[in-house]
Structure 1
Amino acid sequence: MLVLLVVAGIALVLRDSPNDETAEKAETAAAPVDPKTPWTGTWATVMQDGKGAGFQAETLRQVVRASIGGDSVRIRLSNEFSSAPLTVSAVYLAKHLTAGTVDPGTNAHVTFGGADSVTVKAKGTVVSDPVAFRLPAGTDLAVSAYLPQPVGSVTQHESANRDNYVASGNQSTKASLSGLRSFYNYSFLAGVDVQNPSAEGAVVALGASITDGYDSTWNENRSWHNLLARRLGDDGRTVGVLNAGISGNSMLQDGVGQSALNRLERDVLAQTGVKWVIVADLGINDLGGADESGGDRLVAGLRQLIQRSHTAKVKVLCATLVPFAGSEGYSSTGEAGRKVFNDFVRSADSGCDGVVDFDTAVHDSADPTRWNSRFDQGDHMHPNNAGMEALAAAVDTALLARATANS
C-alpha cells in the first residue's frame, strides 16, 4: 500500500506572467495545510482500454483544468486496463501557459513514496505523495511525465477534448518542449486531488458523450460540467466537479467502456471526496431498436444505481434525457422509452435526491422530441456551446446542499 508523505520545502508561487508585477505581489506562498484536512478531487477523467499508439522513451505533458483550488496537490496514475507494468519518472506539475508551454517558475517535483520513479503494476493505480503547490480554481495545470521505457498502448481516456503534448526524451522540467507533437487523449493520468479546508466535497458527472464534452469548442473547457464548476465558484462554493463521461457509453450494456452500472464503484463512488453524482445522458445510448421495454429497463438500472450510491452515502441527482428526434439513432420506440424514463425521474417516488431537467432546458417547445435549434450542434443529438450553457444552467446548485468536509 502506498504511504502518502507530506513534501517539505518552499511553496511555489503561480504568476499570470513573469512580467506582471501586480500579480507577483498579490500572490503568496502556499500556506501550510493541516495533514488532517481531507482530500477532494479537483479534476478526474475515466480510464478506458488503451487502443492508441504507445510511447517510446518520451515526455508527456497533459493539461487539466482545476475545478477548485488548494495548497497541496496529489495525482493519480492508472494502469487499470493494461496487461504489463508501466514505469513513470520525472513527474512535474506546473502552470500551463499555452500550446504545451509552462511557467518554469512554478515547476514542482512529484514523488511516489519519496522516489522520483514509480512502476504501476498491471491493472493497478498509484497515488503520488502530496506536493506543496498553490493551485487556484480555474487554473490550467500541466502534468509532465517521462516514460523511460517503450510502452505499447496505455490505459487512457479516449477523448481529452483538448491538445496534450509529447516529445522525445526527458523534457519534464523544460518550459517548452522541443520537437513536440499533439495527441488527443488522456494517457494514464486519472485524477488530481487538492487539500482545501473550505472544500465541501465533489460532485461527479456520470454520463456519455454530452458529459464527455463531445464537439464543444476544442481546448476551451466548454462542457457543461466545466461551466457548472464556474457557476459554483461564482456562488462562493468550493465543490470539486469531476467528469465521468465516456462518449458512446451506456447505462446497462458494456460497449464503449464498461456500462455505468459496471463502472459505478470505480468511476463514481471511489472518487476522492465524492458527495454527489449527477446521472446525465447515459440512457440515450441504451434506447432504440425494437426493444419496447427499453424505458422500463433504464428505470430498473437507475433504481439500482441510486440504491448503491445511497449505500455509499452519495446523493444522486437524476437528469432527464435530452431529445434526439432526427438523429441517426432515433426511433419511435426509443422516444417512448425516453418518455418512460423521464416521467420516472420527475415522479415523487423515484428515489432521486433531486432532478436536473436537461430535457426541458433544451427541447423545442413546439416539438419536445427535438432540440431547440439554438442549442443543437447539428446532429440533433449533441449540444453546441450555447446548449452546454443551457445544460449547466439547468443544475440547481441548491441541490448540492452544503456539506462539511468531514461529514
Structure 2
Amino acid sequence: MSHHPHDRFRSFWMAALLLAVTAMPAAAQTGAASWVGTWATAPVRDDAASSFTRQTLRQVICTSVGGSSARIHISNLFGTRPLRVEDVHIARLGDGSSILPDTDRAVLFRGSRFIVIAPGKEAVSDPVAFQVPALSDIAISFCLPRPSGRATFHGAAHQTSYLASGDVSSSKDLSDAKTTESTWFLTGLDVQGAGLHGAVVTLGASITEGYFSTPGANRRWPNVLAQKLVEAGFGIGVLNEGISGNRLLADGAGASARHRFRRDVLELPGVRWVIFADAPINDLGSTKPQPSAAQLIAGIGQLIALAHQSHIQFFCSTLTPYEGANYWTPAGEAARERVNDFLRSEASGCDAVIDQDAATHDPAHPTRFLPAYDHGDHLHPNDAGLQAIAGAVNLALFTQASGRDGMRSSPSAGRHRP
C-alpha cells in the first residue's frame, strides 16, 4: 500500500499548532453567541418496540466542551404516537444515579414544563443557565407520563443510565432504579460560551461508537480526542455519531452513512469538521453481494461533496485491518487496501487523511491488528487501540481557516496527511 509523503508539511503544521489557541478566536468571532454541540448520539429505531409509562429516565452523558448555558434535544423520530415529556432537569452527576442538588436546573420547552413531540419530529429545549464543565458527566432527567410508544434510542451507549417509577426527575437519589446501557429519546446537548469554535462529528460504525471500550470510562476514541482538544485549549466539541453495524452504502443497523449524513452531520449545531471512519468495513463484511472498492470510493465521494456544499471540512480515515474477523475474506481485504490507497492519494478529495490503519496494524502482519490493540475478535480495538486511533488525529488540522459565518471551515483551506 502506498503512503503519501508529508515531510514538506511538517514545519508549517507544527507552527500552526503552536499558534492555534491565539488564531482560533480570530477565525470564529461569532463563536461565543452560537450553539455548539458538546454531546450527541445517533438515533436508531428500537425494533424491540420498548415503551415507557409513568417513568423517569435519568440519562448520563459525558460532555466534550463546556459552556455557561445549555439546551437539549429530545427525539421522537421513530415514534408511533405523540411523545409527552414532562419535568425535564439537568444536573451534574453525583455517585451512581444521584445528582448534585445545588446544580439541578429545570429545563423548559417554549416556556412550558412539558412538551408533546409528534412522531418523526424532534424538540429542542429553551436555553437554561447552567455551568456545563468540559469532560464531565451530566445527568438529564425527564418523566414520560403516558405510554411513549415505540422508542427512538441508541442501543449501545456504553454508559449506565437509570429508570425509575413515577415522576422523580428532581430527586437527588433514585430509589430502586433499574439500569440501562442504552440512551432513550435524548439525542443531543448543546452549549453556549466564550472560547467555543465549533464541533467535529465522528461518523462511523462500532469502532467509532466505542464497542468493547470499558463501559462508563469514556475511553471511546472520540472521547480521547475530546480530551486532547480540551487540553490544547481548542474549544471544539466532539459529537460521536457512530452506530454499531452501520454501513456506508446499505441500510441495516440504522440508516446508512449515506442516508443519514444530512441528519447526523450537516444539521448538528456548530459543525465545522467531520471525520468519517469505519462504516465501509461493514459494507465489505456484511453486504451480499459485497460492494467493490470503486463503489465504496464513490460513496465516500458523495459524502465529501455534501460536506463541502455546507462548507464543512471532510477528514477521511483509512480502514483498520480486520483479518481474523468472522466476515473477513481475501476479496474484502483487497477492496480495503484499494480504498485505503485511494484515500491516501491526491485524487481522493479528502481535506485530510487520518491513518487509522497505520496507527493500529501489526507491522509484521499489516492485514491484522497489532496484538496489543486487538480486543480479541480481530475487528474491534481495545482501549489501547482506541487511544492509538485518537492519537492519529493531528490537532493542527483544526487550525484551518474558517468560512464566512465563523462556524464553518472552507474545504479549500488546504489538505494534509498526518
TM-score (norm 2): 0.87
Question: Alignment partner for residue 384 of structure 1, among 382, 385, 390?
Answer: 382
Question: Alignment partner for residue 272 of structure 1, among 269, 277, 284?
Answer: 269
Alignment match, 2:104: 107
SS in 1 for 2:156: coil
- Deviation of residue 183 (structure 1)? 1.1
Question: Alignment partner for residue 50 of structure 1, among 30, 42, 46?
Answer: 46
Distance 2:400 2:143 in 1: 40
Alignment deviations for residues 292-317 of structure 1 (CA, whole Å, 9 cap, x no partner) = 75211110000111011100111100
**Are 2:73 and 1:40 aligned?**
no
**Are 2:213 and 1:216 aligned?**
yes
The percentage of aligned residue pairs carrying the same residue is: 45
Distance 1:54 1:67 in 2: 30
Runs of 5+ unmatched residues, structure 2: 1-29, 408-418
Alignment match, 1:285: 282
Q: Tell me, yes or no, if the aligned pair for 1:146 and 1:172 is still in contact at 8 Å.
A: yes
**Cα pair distance change 1:292/1:160, threshold 3 Å:** closer
Q: Tell me, yes or no, if the aligned pair for 1:38 and 1:406 is still in contact at 8 Å.
A: no
Distance 1:356 1:211 in 2: 13
SS in 1 for 2:228: helix
Which 4+ residue blocks in structure 1 deviate beyond 3 angstroms? 288-293, 402-405
Q: Tell me, yes or no, if the aligned pair for 1:290 and 1:333 is still in contact at 8 Å.
A: no
**Are 2:257 and 1:249 aligned?**
no
Alignment deviations for residues 300-336 of structure 1 (CA, whole Å, 9 cap, x no partner) = 0001110111001111000000000000010000001
Alignment deviations for residues 340-375 of structure 1 (CA, whole Å, 9 cap, x no partner) = 110011001111000100000000001100000000
- Deviation of residue 137 (structure 1)? 0.3
Alignment deviations for residues 158-191 of structure 1 (CA, whole Å, 9 cap, x no partner) = 1111111000001011111021010121110000
Question: Alignment partner for residue 144 of structure 1, among 141, 154, 158?
Answer: 141
Q: Tell me, yes or no, if the aligned pair for 1:286 and 1:294 is still in contact at 8 Å.
A: no
Q: Tell me, yes or no, if the aligned pair for 2:283 and 2:291 is still in contact at 8 Å.
A: no
**Are 2:44 and 1:62 aligned?**
no
Q: Tell me, yes or no, if the aligned pair for 1:291 and 1:333 is still in contact at 8 Å.
A: no
Question: Alignment partner for residue 296 of structure 2, among 271, 295, 298?
Answer: 298
Q: Tell me, yes or no, if the aligned pair for 2:32 and 2:196 is still in contact at 8 Å.
A: no
Distance 1:208 1:117 in 2: 34
- Deviation of residue 90 (structure 1)? 0.3
Alignment deviations for residues 183-232 of structure 1 (CA, whole Å, 9 cap, x no partner) = 12111000000002211100000000001110100111110000000001
Distance 1:207 1:274 in 2: 16
Amino acid in the other structure paired with 1:312: S
Q: Within 5 Å, which residues of 2 pair with 1:229-248?
A: 229-248=226-245
Amino acid in the other structure paired with 2:63: A
- Deviation of residue 153 (structure 1)? 2.7
**Are 2:329 and 1:331 aligned?**
yes
- Deviation of residue 406 (structure 1)? 2.8
Alignment match, 1:357: 355
SS in 2 for 1:338: helix
Alignment match, 2:5: none
Alignment match, 1:93: 90
Amino acid in the other structure paired with 1:236: G
- Deviation of residue 35 (structure 1)? 11
Question: Alignment partner for residue 316 of structure 2, among 315, 318, 326?
Answer: 318
Distance 2:406 2:315 in 1: 21
Q: Tell me, yes or no, if the aligned pair for 1:94 and 1:106 is still in contact at 8 Å.
A: yes
Distance 1:207 1:292 in 2: 18
Alignment match, 2:171: 174
Distance 1:377 1:244 in 2: 21
**Cα pair distance change 1:172/1:402, threshold 3 Å:** farther
Highest RCO, 1 vs 2 (Cα 8 Å, sep ≥ 6): 2
Amino acid in the other structure paired with 1:49: R
**Cα pair distance change 1:293/1:186, threshold 3 Å:** closer
- Deviation of residue 152 (structure 1)? 2.9
**Are 2:367 and 1:369 aligned?**
yes
TM-score (norm 1): 0.90
Distance 1:115 1:333 in 2: 57
* Higher relative helix content: 2
Distance 2:299 2:288 in 1: 19
Q: Tell me, yes or no, if the aligned pair for 2:213 and 2:383 is still in contact at 8 Å.
A: yes
Distance 2:124 2:302 in 1: 30
Q: Tell me, yes or no, if the aligned pair for 1:158 and 1:186 is still in contact at 8 Å.
A: yes
**Cα pair distance change 1:70/1:287, threshold 3 Å:** same
Distance 2:320 2:31 in 1: 43
Alignment deviations for residues 238-289 of structure 1 (CA, whole Å, 9 cap, x no partner) = 0000011000000000011000000000000101100000001011001147
Amino acid in the other structure paired with 2:93: H
Q: Tell me, yes or no, if the aligned pair for 2:213 and 2:219 is still in contact at 8 Å.
A: yes
